[in-house]
Amino acid sequence: MRSPFAHPWLHLWLLLLWTLLGLGLRLVNLTGKPLWTDEFSTIVFSLGNSFLTIPLDQLLTTEQLLQPLQPSSSASMRDVLRHLLSESNHPPLYFLLTHVWLKLFPAPNGWVSVWGARSLAAVLGALAVPASFGLGWFAFRSRLVGHLAAVLMAVSPFGIYLSQEARHYTLPLLWIIVSLGCLVTATRTIRHRDPLPMSIGLLWVVVNTLALATHYLTLLTLLAELMVMMVMGLIQSWREQGQWYPSAHWWRIVAVVAGTMAGGLVWLPFLQDVPDSQLTAWIQQDVRTGLQWLDPIAQLLAAAISMLYLLPIQAPSSPIVLVSVVLLVWVVLWTLPKLYCGLILQATNPNSRLPLMTLGGFVSSAILLFFAITYIFERDLTSALRYNFVYFPGAIVLMAASLATIWAGTKLPSEPKSVWLKHIYQGNRRTVIFIILLGLVGSLTVAWNWGYQKIHRPDVVAEAIRSYSQGDVLIAIPHQTHGQTGRLMGIAWALQHPSPTSPSSLAPTLSANPPLAGAASKSLIPHFLLARRSYDSGSMVRSLRQAFGQLPRPLDVWLINFRNTPERPVSQFLERRQCEAQTDSFSTDGYQYRLYRCPR
């Protein structure tokens, strides 16, 4: 009787199932999370709008502050390029695609569609599922590895996190997957002393150029690939007793490197300004003491673990968080020996050894580059877990190759002498299914906002304002870049569009008095102020004085992120106007805020 697994259409139907699963998980609760600063940046520039149209040191209404979120029929791709390249530090390809994509979605009440802004990243993230199948199949000549790579990409919590951000992280995944396929082909030509096919070389250059036009950090992907090719060449030369390859073998690979460099030179004028940009100042780490030296290692481990597993470690219930952390540690310790054993078994297969060395060397080289930039150049790339996208597809295929040996029931060359070790290394198909199901739990954890919450939480600040203030409210923040504008826009948007994942229980418990008498019968009337940040606090005091002259009393004043500014003169100004601090500074992700009450 013919096995159902031999049916020619089965693999196509399975791949379609994994792709639909990945797409469904990426669309779950897509609009239920608050918009945050970086997403506002994507939306504003993709609409062809500018942050510079929002005036500083002036009292703003919600409509004035959020005006750049209104689509304009007259905005063009030229406007996208002009505003993005002059106000930000990102290449334009994803923003141009988003500009076209947003035209497919009507603007509710004149505002941009949040679902439309985020769905492009979700769709591109879902396309990484069949692309991962292709890379696994092509690299290891195994449909089983391909299917496992596809399903792991579909349910990866890290993949869901990237796909639910209105940011340019999922499009590079597609370029990286194709580029890794070209890398595998190149290492095969190195092994067999064959010239790289011209079609592969041309494809490689085009994909690398598109990757650099999507996100500058894909440069780390390309450097890691270059390191792999150099090491593979040295290893093969050593095996050939020091006989190096003739130049005719290398010229096409050199042409790929030269073509990629030529395609990336267009961004050099913009790249050289990135390290000193105020927009990237947050990533600088000048001084480390004690255990802080271990932070990058811990952060990179956290990102690597979340590529496979995540539990509700950010749930609102402390007992759930505690249980989740304990279980997550246990599951990771249970899984690592099995993955290691699977890779060892995969290496015993002569046909799998080369792709294993290629992808393993790529992931190792990328991680080495992360640590080099972090520790030597004092730019902590590990602090932004999302940046690990540069090697994410390679890690997924490696894990799939390891699980394939467990699924196939491949045995260790020699049984461990210890019964305990034998139990750890044991695995079967149920082990693989359990790992995939636990990954599915992790993906739902991210989708329902119990893990990988937004880096900034304007919804928490908005809930505090809504809970403790009524009537006229002034919300002020010191302005330095459009990052602060985005933070204030996040609060304004959350006040206008309450998030279902941000119930009132998230509001912090402030030592604040009830709303002021005379304001109790009024609905919340928010006013906003972007006070130009200066080391001379006089400019911010003047901005507040001008705003006070236009607002009635009683008035609640919320100072946002004044901690790193000369706050004392601002506090003195408020105290002279009989404004009483209702609480000490309170913090949530991306925000530090304090409430002042100004009576009649």
Q: Report pLDDT digits (tens) over 13-68.
A: 999 999 999 999 999 999 999 999 999 999 999 999 999 999 999 999 999 999 99
Local structure of 479: helix, strand or coil:
strand
- For the cut 60, the answer to whether the pLDDT of residue 255 exceeds it is yes
Q: Are 239 and 369 in contact (CB under 8 A)?
A: no
Average pLDDT rounded to a whole number, residues 78-89 = 92
| Confidence (pLDDT) at 518 | 47
- For the cut 90, the answer to whether the pLDDT of residue 283 exceeds it is no
Local structure of 445: helix, strand or coil:
helix
Average pLDDT rounded to a whole number, residues 150-157 = 98
Share of the chain above pLDDT 90, in %: 65
Q: How many CB atoms lie within 10 A of CB 588?
A: 17
CA distance 16 to 9: 11
Average pLDDT rounded to a whole number, residues 124-139 = 98
Q: How many CB atoms lie within 10 A of CB 206?
A: 15
Cis peptide upstream of residue 554 (ω within 30 degrees of 0): yes
Local structure of 538: helix, strand or coil:
helix
Average pLDDT rounded to a whole number, residues 72-76 = 91
| Confidence (pLDDT) at 367 | 97
Q: Residue 451: which of 324, 280, 279 has the closest Cα?
A: 324
Q: How far is CA 437 from the centre of its chain?
A: 23
- For the cut 80, the answer to whether the pLDDT of residue 520 exceeds it is no
pLDDT 10s digits, 180-189:
999 999 999 8
Pairing relation of β-strands 472-479 and 555-560? parallel
* Backbone torsions φ then ψ of 533, nearest 5 degrees: -75, 135
CA distance 160 to 492: 27
Q: How many CB atoms lie within 10 A of CB 10?
A: 13
CA distance 279 to 542: 26
Residue 45 gets which letter from DSSP? H
| Confidence (pLDDT) at 361 | 96
CA distance 472 to 556: 7
In CATH, what class is 458-598?
A: alpha beta
Banded model confidence at residue 517, pLDDT cuts 50, 70, 90: very low
Q: Residue 466: which of 444, 434, 499, 425 has the closest Cα?
A: 499
CA distance 469 to 516: 8
Which residues have C-beta within 8 Å of that of residue 143, sequence separation ≥ 6?
A: 11, 137
Question: Which amino acid is it at 206?
Answer: V
pLDDT 10s digits, 479-495:
988 999 999 999 999 99
* Backbone torsions φ then ψ of 552, nearest 5 degrees: -80, 165
| Confidence (pLDDT) at 243 | 58
Average pLDDT rounded to a whole number, residues 191-216 = 93
Residue 560 gets which letter from DSSP? E
Local structure of 442: helix, strand or coil:
helix
pLDDT 10s digits, 358-412:
999 999 999 999 999 999 988 889 989 999 999 999 999 999 999 999 998 877 6
Find the range with the poorest average confidence among 196-205, 451-460, 491-500. 491-500
Q: Residue 358: which of 506, 451, 466, 232 has the closest Cα?
A: 232
pTM of the shown model: 0.93
Residues present in the chain in total: 600
- For the cut 90, the answer to whether the pLDDT of residue 439 exceeds it is yes
DSSP annotation string for 574-599: HHHTT-EE-SS-EEETTEEEEEEEE-
Q: How far is CA 597 from the centre of its chain?
A: 38
Report the chain's mean pLDDT, rounded to a whole number. Answer: 88
Banded model confidence at residue 177, pLDDT cuts 50, 70, 90: very high
| Confidence (pLDDT) at 4 | 46
pLDDT 10s digits, 322-352:
999 999 999 999 999 999 999 999 998 899 9
Angle formed by the axes of helices 318-347 and 429-447, to 10°? 140
| Confidence (pLDDT) at 3 | 46
- More confident call, 506 vs 102: 102
Q: Are 594 and 585 in contact (CB under 8 A)?
A: yes
Residue 282: both structure tokens together:
């947050």
Where in the chain do CATH 3.40.50 domains reside?
Answer: 458-598
Share of the chain above pLDDT 70, in %: 86
CA dihedral of residues 464, 466, 470, 475 (deg, nearest 10)? 70
Pairing relation of β-strands 555-560 and 591-598? antiparallel
- For the cut 80, the answer to whether the pLDDT of residue 237 exceeds it is no
Q: Given the structure tokens 């050593």, which residue do they identify?
A: 238
pLDDT 10s digits, 287-315:
777 778 889 999 999 999 999 999 999 99
H-only helix segments in 281-383: 295-306, 318-347, 350-375
Q: 298: exposed, middle or buried (C-beta count within 10 Å: 0-12, 13-18, 19+)?
A: exposed
Which residues have C-beta within 8 Å of that of residue 116, sequence separation ≥ 6?
A: 101, 102, 104, 105
